[in-house]
Amino acid sequence: MKFSYYPGCSLHSTAAEFSASTEAIFKFLGVKLQELDDWCCCGATSGHSINNFLSHALPLYNLILAENNGSDIVVPCAACYSSLKSAQVFMKSNNSKVTKLNNHLKVTMGRTYQGQINVYHVLEILNNPQIQDLLKKHISKNFNGIPLASYYGCLLNRPPKAVSFEDNPEQPKLMDKLLNQVGATPVVWPHKNECCGASLAISQPKIVEQLVAKIIGSAKHAGAKAIVTACPLCQTNLDSRQPQDTDSLPVFFITEIIGLALGINSLSWLKKHLIDPIPF
């Protein structure tokens, strides 16, 4: 199995451990990830908020790089995943700007967007039947029933028409399935899909602190000993803006949990967390 790999900006900085753990587990499982050469930012929330052109042009730049390679793309970041998928939906629409944008892409990249490749999130690949067989074969560590809260946040399931890969976007469960496979107990909790406040963390930190406090409170109420996520911004917000007056919950990336279960040395990833997960 071989994919183009689009890490996105966060995975080269604030969420470097998400990239390192993703690359490590896929290498272990024999899946080849080839980082897209010279990828650019997807535009993220700021793109679609104030600049429609960039919100389409930036993801398409990367999609065309991948089409040039001929391999489907794997994306760990929920926001990048959403940007790339939304750009694909836009290019399928009847919007008059589609042709104009494609003409400009031809001038820029030497080729138009063809819609030939698929964009997958890491969770989708981990649930691919072939990968599932490999996981079953290689999981060597058991989490001994420890209760964990799988936290999806927003952009892996919404807007469902563009992005969701779950049977029910309101009740996603692929991450819970993975937690079961490593011997942990996924808790049932109501804040699995609630928003952490995303990029408002910098411009409106008080709003984000309130949203994070609700999510952390809910996970604790359900008995979780840690939170597991698949989005760099969710992890950063939950790791950095938890209420100070209570026992903190460590916040893992799902790829770190899988890495631990496969017996991969994960110390360098876990040392990057703000809330120390190592005694966990």
Partner 1 sequence: MAGKQVIPSSKLISSVAKKSSQPINRCYQCHKCTGGCPVTFAMDIMPHQVVRYVQLGLEEKLLESKTIWQCTACHTCGSRCPNGIDIAAINDALKQQAITNNVKPALPEVRTFHEAFLASVKNNGRVHELGMMLAFKRKTGTYLQDVSLGLKMFRRNKLRLLPKKIKNRKRFHTLLQGEKEG
Nearer to partner 1 by Cβ, of 65 and 178: the residue is 65
- Scan for tokens 């597991």, then name that residue: 228
Site string for partner 1, 128-167 (x = CB under 8 A): --------------------------xx-xxxx-------
Least CB distance to partner 1 at residue 105 (A): 8
Query: Do 140 and 262 form a contact (C-beta atoms < 8 A)?
Result: yes
Residues 6+ apart with CB under 8 A from 95: none
Least CB distance to partner 1 at residue 114 (A): 17
Residues 6+ apart with CB under 8 A from 215: 151, 191, 194, 196, 227, 238
Cis peptide before 277 (omega within 30 of 0): no
Q: How many residues bind partner 1 (CB under 8 A)?
A: 61
Nearer to partner 1 by Cβ, of 71 and 83: the residue is 83
**Listed ranges 101-109, 112-120, 140-148, 248-256: which one lies at the site for partner 1 (CB under 8 A):** 101-109
Of 132, 185, 199, 248, which lies in the binding site for partner 1, with binding defined by CB under 8 A?
Answer: 199
Query: Do 181 and 135 form a contact (C-beta atoms < 8 A)?
Result: yes
Residues within the interface to partner 1 (CB under 8 A): 9-10, 12-16, 38-41, 43-54, 57-58, 61, 93, 95, 101, 104-105, 107-109, 154-155, 157-160, 169-170, 193-195, 197-200, 202-205, 207, 210-211, 240, 271-274
